[in-house]
Each structure stands twice: as structure tokens, then as C-alpha cells.
Amino acid sequence: MNVLREMAYLVVGVPLLIAVVLGLGVRVWGRAAAWIALLGPLLAVAVGASSLEGGASGSVRWLAAGDSVLTLGYHVDGLSAIMLLVVGVVAACVIVFSIGYMHGDRGYVRYFAILSLFTAAMSGLVIAGDLVGLFIGWELVGACSFLLIGFWYEKPAAAEAARKAFMVTRVGDAAMLVGLAVLWRATGTLELSAILGSVGSLAPAVVTTAAVCLLLGAVGKSAQFPLHIWLPDAMEGPTPVSALIHAATMVAAGVFLVARTWPLFEASPEARMVALVLGTITALGAATIALQQTDIKKVLAYSTISQLGFMFAALGVGAWPVAIFHLVTHAAFKALLFLTSGSVIHGSGTQDLREMGGLRSKMPLTAVAWIIGGLALAGIPPLAGFFSKDEVVGSVLAAAPWAGVALLAASLLTGAYVARATRLAFFGPVRGTGEAHESPWTMTVPMAVLAVAAIGLGFAGPSIAAVLGAESEPLSLGLAALAVGLAGAGALGGWLLAAGGGAYENGFPPALTRVWGAARDGYGFDALVNGAIVRPMAALARFTDSVVDRQGIDRVAEGFAGLARGVGEMFARTMTGDGQTYSALLAAGAIILLCITMWLVR
Amino acid sequence: MSVTLLWWALAALTVAGAVAVIATREMMRMLLGLGAFLLGLAGFYAWYGFELLAVAELFVYVGGVLVLFLFAITSMGRDREGRSMERRLDLGALGISAGMGLVLLVALQSTLPAAPTAVGASVEDTAAALLGPLLPYFELAGVVLLVALVAALAIIGREDAR
Amino acid sequence: MTSLALACVLMSVGLYGLLTRRDIIAVLASIEVMLGGAQLLLAAYSASVTLASAAQGVTLIVLATIAAEAAVGLALLVALVHRGRTRTDQIEEVRG
């Protein structure tokens, strides 16, 4: 155990090695690839478990320029250990699940290679002892996300979604890099302990700038408004990928980043306010959109965005241990929901809720798992989501009542969309082809594991708080009752909404339908970005290509070539074959040489 | 010896011959001009006192090379005799030739003494020089002549073989 | 000085003929003129740098060499004429 704790860097090294081995032998490894890839997450779980009381650290000098030195190192503390456990458990479940889900896929080995790389990068991110290592991991998980969203790259939609994800998060990453630069300039180092220790001696403007920049990076990675548009499109990737990356781990990295650099945020009320505002808007807005979706994965995608908004709101009021607690429980039940939806997709052959129905009898295990996850998401006791969401809403309500009310509304909507999706998929008449079947054990066992976690993690709240070095607040019964009541009311509403089999034009006044319709398309935000940013950029690129490149630069290059050709032709004309021409040239040359000689010896 | 009327006469003859070579349209006139030129050269050698050289010039050039030209022309066939040759005025060539002449003049003007001295040399002394310090070059000249002979035979011989 | 000028004039004249004339015989004759001018130069001035006898000897050797060249040139002329080519623009082997 101690050995494992000391060599914490193995959580990065081993999966990285596995990724390389699998990647190089894409044609060689067959079904064994999954089991090999399983080693990485299991190692992460082991190291995480052994480091809960405090782990190892170490660093190495990387680049030096004059007096400034960049180090690369790891520093495992309670927060890192918790994250390692989350990443490890979810990744392990996802890998086992993928054995069944990705069975027979042409890119089977490539899939596990990239997953392994992701595990390495995410582990590196959470154990990083300096912002350099964190940023490296940050970028790498973004790259892996790109590779996995666009896993089925022959599909144009998938390739576009991958590009979109990468580019949108890039906006955030650019801001984050600016933040790193600010911190470097101000403190001369990028080591976390050094920076966080010297926060008190920095000018407030510097602290706020750095904090907001880092926050923007988190906003991009965690798909908060206004950088949220990539996550729904990211559902083009395989469902286990959505479970791991876009529900439990990568999107949580944003929350992790803020928690990791908390002293900066503690010293900057402006940054906290930004987080609070963005988080609240996101939480409420995404919940309304989720209610409108017909694709089961998109429901879960918007739900993820919304729940992350909850976490950001908690960060905004200063309750970062609460945010981490919700991150942990959310990882469990959201991953469970995604895997379950994967099972549904695998078993029934469709992603559209309107084509499902009555799956309860065909896929009983899946149905139970889904319902557990759904109850956790909605915040029904005694499941995990109840405890963590309650603490989040409680903290926010106490510090900023307006935000707290918004979050309560979001909770209501959460219950609504969960119930609606549940009824559409599992209950009611069979609307699809009716040929659904239950999934194999490789898929049901991970679901069971996560279901257990979703049930039990709620009671781990105090332990988590202790590991993080914070006190845990007791539950306020009044608030709890209010929250449950709202969730239940929402659920009822959602249940009724699903009565028409997904089409709710019936019984709704037209004005309402228009509003809901706008919600379905994300309130036109995508179109806005497309028109205001994407199209002008594309036009600029086209202009640069046709004018600057083709006519400008190519002309110059061709001009040089033409010049060479012209000079060559000019000289070729001297090769006439006429001896007298040669003699004339000879004589002329001799005259010139004579002149030069005479001039030199004058 | 100072430049006398004789010298100028020789100069006129030589130059007239040279111009005739390059300018005339008829082959026979060109040969006559060449002959005049060579005779003028021989005269110059005599004026300088190089008796051996003058005589050698007469034998070898006037009596040899000129006759060779005549033979070559006559061997070309009947339609070649008296045939008119083109001539043209080429300004580029004119420039180059004039330039060459001028450059040589200017270049050599500084390295060579102002006036030539017609010292003259006796045949015995020349022979002693040729077989003495100049022996290698003398022998080489012999080799060159032999090679030229063989070459000419080879070129012509191949013709006869066809 | 005048002697030098004369030799240079002769060489220029010969060069012009070499570059200009179209008939191969005329070219050969022009070459003779040019080389004759060079011989004259050599003869006139070599006596100022060496013994007069050596001067004459050197000029003699040069004379022999140039005569040899004339002979070979005429042989080539005859060979060309037998192939029907008598003008310089009919020689194409060195075109490139």
C-alpha cells in the first residue's frame, strides 16, 4: 500500500504505456485489449484509496530560462485521491461495459487505446502539483475527447461534433493559458503550493484576472453557458464515452480546477460572482432544454450541463467541498444513466424516445438501473443525489437567495425531465419494433456497480468533507422537504407530459408550444454562434485562401519559378549550334577578362 | 630603324589583302587577297631583319597554305569556282572585333616597348637557338606537324573509304 | 607603337571575318589572317624580351604550328564538302 502511494505517478505512466502498446498493435490485439486497458483505472483506484489520508509528491525540473524554472510534478492530497477514485471506478465500469457495447466494432482496439490515454491524462490532471502538469493533462483530455467523439469518423456528423467540441473548449483553454501567464508573471512560478500560498501578497486585480481566466477555462471544459454548445453534439460518440468523459470525469475537471485553485477564488469575490451567475443560468436553462429533447442521450447531455451548473453555483458561493461532493455523486448516477441508456440503445436499436416504450418488461435489469439513477438525479432520498443536491441548494440559498430560488426551479424541472424520459422509454405501449432484448453481463454488471454507488454515496458526505478538510453541515429538514416536494411535483408534471408518447402539441396552448419549441433548439444559441462567429471566420478563411494565398503568395512563388525558367531559356538561346556564335561569345568573354585583368594590375 | 615609306607600303599591302579576304564576294579574289596578305607579312619579316623567317613564310604559306586553299577549292567541283560568297554586315561582330583590337592595343601598349627594333638575326644563330634552348619546342613542333599530317590523312581517308 | 597598332588591326579584321563569313573557306581564310597578325606581333616584339635569334626561332615554331592547323582545317573542309555542306549554318552537330 505504501509503495503504491509513493509511486503515485504510475497512475499516469501505466495507462500511458498501455495506450502506446495498444495503439501500436492495433491489428495485433483483439479482445484482450479491454482487459489490458482495465489495468489503468484499477491502478488509479488503488492509488486513490491509499492516498486518502494524504499522498506523495515529487517534481522534476523541466525547462529553465535564466532564473525562471518550470517544474513538472505531482502532489497527491485528499482532493486528488477522491478524484482518482471517481475516475478509476467510472473508467473501470465503462471499460467493462464497452466490451459488450463495442463488440464487433472495427476500431475495437483503437477505442481502448484512446480510453487508456484518457485515463492517463485525467489522472495526470488530478495529481498535478503545478499548473504546467495540470494544463498538459487538461489539453490531453481535450484531445482524447476529440478522438472519441469522432470515433466513428466516417460519419460526417461525428467528425463535425468532434471539431466543434475541440474548438469551443479551445476558447476556454486560451483564456486559461492567459490566466497561467498572469500567475507566472506575478509569482514567477507555476507550482501550485507556491502560488496558492502567495495569494495574499498579490494585487487584487491580478488575483481576479487570473481567477476569471481559469474560470473561463473551466466554463469551456464543463460546458457552461456560453461555451456549452459542444456537449449535446458530443453525443455522436459511443455511449460509454459519453458516460466516462462527458458525464463523470472530463466535464468535472472544470469544477476540479476551481477547487484546486481555491485560494485564488477565495480572494476574488468578482470571480465567484461570475461563477455563480453562469452556473445558475446554465442550471436553469439547460433543464428547460432537457425537457424538450427526444433523443435519450441529449436529455442526459443537457441534464449534465444543468447539474454542472449546480456545482458552479456552489463554487460561486464559496462552498467548494459541497461542489466536490455533488461532483462525486453526479459522477456515479450520471454515468449509471448513460450506461443504462447505452444498454437501451444496444438492446432496442434506437435512440429516439418516441420510438421506445414498454421496455420495462423486455429489459428489466436495465429498467431498474435507470430508475435508480433517475431517482438519484432527481434528488429523492435516500439516494445519493438527494444529499449532495440538498447541500448545494442549501449553501446557495443561504448566500444568494435569488440563485437559490432558480436552483429550486431547476430541481423541479429535473424531476420533470427524468420522469418524462422514464415513462417514454420504459412504460406505456410499445411504440417501436418490439424486438428489444436485455444486455449481456458485461453491460449489466457495471450498471449494478454504479447503481450501488448511486444509492450509497449519499452517506459518504461527511467522509468526503473530512478528507477535503472541511466541516459538513447538517441537513436542514425544511429545505429537504421543500426540495423533495418540488422534485416530486416536477416528476408528476413530467409523467403527464409523457402521456402523449412524446408529442405534446395536444392539450397545450400555442404560445406555450412556441416557447417550448425554442427551448428544444437550445434557444437558438447555436445558430447565433454559427452566424456571428463561424460563418465570418469561414468567409475570412476562404478570402485568405483565394486572394492572399492563391493570387498573392502563389503568384510570387510562381514568379520565381518563371524567373528561373526565363533566365534558363535566355541562356539556352546561346546554344545555337553555330560555331561563329560561340566564337563571338568567346571573343567577347576574352575581351572582358582582359579588361578586368588590365584594371586589376594598373 | 625608323618607320619609312617602305614600312607604310608593306602595311598598306597587308591590310588591303586582309580586307579583301573578309569582304570580297568572289572566291578567287579572296585567295588573291590572302596571297597579298601573306606576301606583306613576309616583307615585314624581311624588314625586321628576320631573313629565315621571311623565306620560311614565303615557302610555307604562300607556296604551301595558299596552294592548299586553291586545291581545296578546285576539288570541290566545277560549280564552286567563281561562285559568289555571301557577306554581311554584323554590328555585333564589328563591335567585338573592334573591341578586341582596342583592348589588345591598350593592354600591350604598356607591356611592350614603344618602337620595335629591327635587329635582325643570322641563320646560324637561329639554328643554334633552335637546337639549343628551344630544342624541346622544336621537337614538339615536329610532333604537331606529324599529328596534323596523320589527322588530315585520317579525315580524308575516311572519305575515300566510303 | 604603330607596329603594334597594325598587328591589332590585322587581328581585328581577321576576327570580324571569322565571325561574319558564311562560307567555310572564307572562315578558314579569315583565321589565317588573324593568326598572321598574331605572328607579326610576336615577331616584332619578341626581340625586345629575348635574343633576336631566339625570337626568330620562336616565331618559326609558331609559324609551323599555324600551318599545321591550316592543313587540318582544310581537310575538314574537304570532308564537309563531300557531304554537300559548304556553309557554316549547315553544321549542326554542336547545337544544344
Question: How many Å separate Cα A116 from the centre of its chain?
Answer: 16
ipTM for this prediction:
0.89
Cβ distance of A579 and C89 shorter than 8 Å:
no
Residue C95 has pLDDT above 70, yes or no: no
The residue in chain C having the minimum alpha-carbon distance to the alpha carbon of residue B57 is C63
For A171-202, the pLDDT digits (tens) are 999 999 999 999 988 888 888 888 888 888 88
pLDDT at residue number A507: 44
Percent of chain B at pLDDT above 90? 41
Give chain B positions within 8 Å (CB) of C47.
Answer: 48, 116-117, 119, 121
pTM of the model: 0.70
> Rounded CA gap, A136 and A143, in Å?
11
The pLDDT tens digits for A512-547 are: 666 666 776 677 777 787 788 888 888 888 888 888
Tens-place pLDDT, residues C16-31:
999 888 888 899 999 9
Whether B80 has a pLDDT exceeding 70, the answer reads no
**C31 touches B: beta carbon within 8 Å:** no
What cell was used for A530? Answer: 454559427
Percent of chain A at pLDDT > 90 equals: 29
The topology under which CATH files domain B2-78+86-131 is Four Helix Bundle (Hemerythrin (Met), subunit A) (1.20.120)
Task: Confirm if B37 and C36 have CB atoms less than 8 A apart.
Answer: yes
Which residues contact residue C84 at a Cβ distance below 8 angstroms, ignoring those fewer than 6 apart? none
Q: Please give, rounded to a whole number of angstroms, the shortest distance from the CA of B13 to a CA of chain C.
A: 12
Q: What is the structure's pLDDT at B162?
A: 53
Residue in C20, C27, C92 closest to A577 by CB: C92
Residue A598 to residue B107, Cβ atoms within 8 A: yes
* Distance (Å) from the alpha carbon of A565 to chain B's nearest alpha carbon: 26
* A68-75 vs A57-65, strand pairing mode: antiparallel
A438 torsion bin: left (phi>0), alpha (psi -120 to 50), beta (else): beta
Q: Is the pLDDT of residue A373 over 50?
A: yes
Average pLDDT over residues C28-35: 94
Q: How far apart are CA A379 and CA A408, in angstroms?
A: 11
Q: Mark which residues 72-91 of C lie under 8 Å from B by CB.
A: 72, 74-79, 81-82, 86
Residue that wins the pLDDT comparison between B26 and A371: A371
CA distance A354 to A351: 9
Task: Tell me the mean pLDDT in the region B112-132.
Answer: 76
Contacting residues of B for A594, CB less than 8 Å apart: 103-104, 107
Q: Quick check: B68 pLDDT over 80?
A: yes
Q: How far apart are CA A464 and CA C63, in angstroms?
A: 115
Q: Which residue of B has its CA nearest to C34?
A: B18
CA torsion A152→A158→A160→A164, rounded to 10°? Answer: -110
Residues of C in contact with B39 (CB under 8 A): none
Mean pLDDT of A258-270: 90
- Compute the distance between CA of residue A336 and CA of residue A361 in angstroms, rounded to an integer: 20
A559–chain C nearest CA distance, Å: 26
A67-71, A83-87, B144-148: least confidently modelled range: A67-71
Contact between B103 and A594 using a beta-carbon 8 Å cutoff: yes
Q: Where residue C40 falls among pLDDT bands split at 50, 70, 90?
A: very high
- Between vectors from CA A101 to CA A100 and to CA A107, what angle results, nearest 5°? 105
Chains in touch with C (≥3 Cβ pairs < 8 A) = A, B
Give A430-481 pLDDT, tens digit per residue: 776 666 777 788 888 888 888 888 888 888 777 888 778 777 767 777 888 8
Which chain A residues are within 8 Å of B107, Cβ to Cβ? 594, 597-598
CA distance A72 to B62: 98
> Has residue A311 got a pLDDT over 90?
yes
Of residues B82 and A99, more confidently modeled: A99
The pLDDT value given to residue A339: 92
Place of cell 618607320: B3
Question: Chain B residues with CB inside 8 Å of C17's CB?
Answer: 21-22
Total Cβ atoms within 10 A of residue A535? 11
- Per-residue pLDDT for B3 more than 60? no
- Between B44 and C95, residue with greater pLDDT: B44
The chain-wide mean pLDDT, for chain A, equals 85
| A353 closest CA partner among A402, A437, A419 | A419
Q: Is the pLDDT of residue A53 over 80?
A: no
Contact in structure between B82 and B26 (CB atoms under 8 Å): yes
What are chain C's domains? 2-90 (1.10.287.3510)
The whole-number pLDDT of residue B117 equals 63
> Which of A223, A350, A330, A208 is closest to A270 using CA atoms?
A208
Name the residue of chain C whose CA is nearest to B30's CA.
Answer: C26
Alpha carbon A494 to its chain centroid, in Å, reads 28
Contacts of B96 in chain A (CB under 8 A): 584, 587-588, 591
DSSP letter (8 states) at residue A474? P
| CA B153/CA A33 separation, integer angstroms | 88
To the nearest whole Å, the CA of A600 is away from the closest chain C CA by 22
- C-alpha A456/C-alpha A450 separation (Å) is 10
Q: Which of C49, C36, C48, C47 is nearest to C7 (CA)?
A: C36
Give the pLDDT confidence of A1-44 residue by residue, as tens digits.
677 777 778 888 888 998 998 888 888 887 888 888 898 899 88
pLDDT at A96 over 80: yes
Calpha distance C74→C66 (Å, rounded) = 12
What residues contact residue A526 under an 8 Å CB cut-off, 6+ apart? A229
Question: Which residues of chain A neighbour C96 with C-beta distances below 8 Å?
Answer: 575, 577
List, as ranges, residues 48-67 from B with C-beta within 8 Å of C: 48-50, 52-53, 56-57, 60-61, 64-65
Q: CA A62: distance to chain centroid?
A: 27
